[in-house]
Amino acid sequence: MIEQPTGIEANYSLIVKDLPPNVQLVAVSKTYNAETVARIYNVGQRVFGENKVQELVEKYTALPKDIHWHLIGHLQTNKVKYIAEFIDTIQSVDSRKILKEIDKQAGKHNRKIKVLLQVKIAEEDTKYGLESSEAKEIFTEYLNDIYPNVEVQGLMGMATFTDNEKQVQNEFSSLKNLFDELAAQKPLTVLSMGMSNDYKLAIDCGATSVRIGSAIFGSRATEH
Ligand SMILES: *Cc1c(COP(=O)(O)O)cnc(C)c1O
């Protein structure tokens, strides 16, 4: 029998209790099994985030169908078809090419898929994401109805992994500025930034959605 982590419901309640009412929580369940995810579902959470398509499909299949699944990791074009039917939001749109494919697959299923444009705000060059200028161009195309089967709800970003709070704050603020600039053209509702170690700062900088994994579920055995 696989041992279940203790205290995750308590971790969850403490986090939820302190979130401002306008901030959405995406519980990041990557690497945790369906049984563990179900415990957080059972205490009321309905929005979960995964970063790998295969793992996402497995959990979608195993878990209740009223869960809103968010993809938060880099997506390859040949894999969009596996999630197009059920995915609620794809937060990790990091190229024009992937957005085109999401639009095409959403059309095949006669639905609109909600997306966020992932913008590179961190210093590290290992992280995926659009440059601000590309994000603006793609948003303009969207406003010109080039992607009729997607709904661009806002932006997503990941700050540099550092103890330097000032730097993280600057990175979040730069994303908030871009968000405001785009939202002036057409209202946007979702600014997804902040993870377990920096979500409070992200909220102070204007996040409307936070992606929290390890602060709920405990540290991951294998990082990926
Ligand atoms: C893993 C992951 C998270 C959650 O990270 P924690 O530090 O466990 O809260 C958030 N966003 C993305 C894109 C991730 O890959």
- Tens digits of per-residue pLDDT, 21-43? 999 999 999 999 999 999 999 99
Q: Which residue has the higher pLDDT, 97 or 125?
A: 97
CA–CA gap between residue 54 and residue 60 (Å, rounded) = 10
Tokens for 137, please give them. 């161009």
Q: What does the pLDDT read at residue 41? A: 98
CA–CA gap between residue 49 and residue 47 (Å, rounded) = 7
- pLDDT-derived band at 4 (thresholds 50, 70, 90) equals low
The secondary structure of residue 2, as a DSSP letter, is P
CA–CA gap between residue 108 and residue 95 (Å, rounded) = 20
% of the chain surpassing 70 pLDDT: 95
Give yes or no for a contact between 40 and 12, defined as CB atoms under 8 angstroms apart: yes
| Element of type H or E holding 68 | strand 68-71
Does the CB atom of residue 168 touch ligand 1 within 6 A? no
Q: In ligand 1, which atom is closest to the CA atom of 92? A: 13
Q: What does the pLDDT read at residue 124? A: 78
Would strands 89-93 and 68-71 be described as parallel, antiparallel, or unpaired?
parallel
| CA atoms within a 13 Å half-sphere pointing along the CA-CB vector of 125 | 0
% of the chain surpassing 90 pLDDT: 92
Q: What does the pLDDT read at residue 220? A: 83
Does the CB atom of residue 121 touch ligand 1 within 6 A? no
Q: Coil, helix or strand for 50?
A: strand
To the nearest whole number, what is the mean pLDDT of the chain?
95
Nearest CA to ligand 1 atom 6: 213
Q: What number is the average pLDDT over the span 123-141? A: 91
Q: What does the pLDDT read at residue 77? A: 98
Give yes or no for a contact between 116 and 73, defined as CB atoms under 8 angstroms apart: no
Does the CB atom of residue 195 touch ligand 1 within 6 A? yes
Q: What number is the average pLDDT over the span 55-74? A: 98
Using the predicted structure, report yes or no on whether residue 223 has a pLDDT greater than 60. Answer: no
Q: In ligand 1, which atom is closest to the CA atom of 30? A: 1
Q: What does the pLDDT read at residue 144? A: 98
For the chain, where are the E strands, in sequence order? 24-28, 47-50, 68-71, 89-93, 113-118, 150-157, 190-193, 209-212
- pLDDT-derived band at 6 (thresholds 50, 70, 90) equals confident
| Predicted structure pTM score | 0.95
Give me the residue label for tokens 């205290």: 7
Q: In ligand 1, which atom is closest to the CA atom of 212? A: 9
Q: Coil, helix or strand for 212?
A: strand
Q: What does the pLDDT read at residue 222? A: 59
| CA atoms within a 13 Å half-sphere pointing along the CA-CB vector of 181 | 13
CA quadruple 221, 70, 147, 86: dihedral sign: positive
Q: What number is the average pLDDT over the span 135-155? A: 98
Using the predicted structure, report yes or no on whether residue 127 has a pLDDT greater than 90. Answer: no
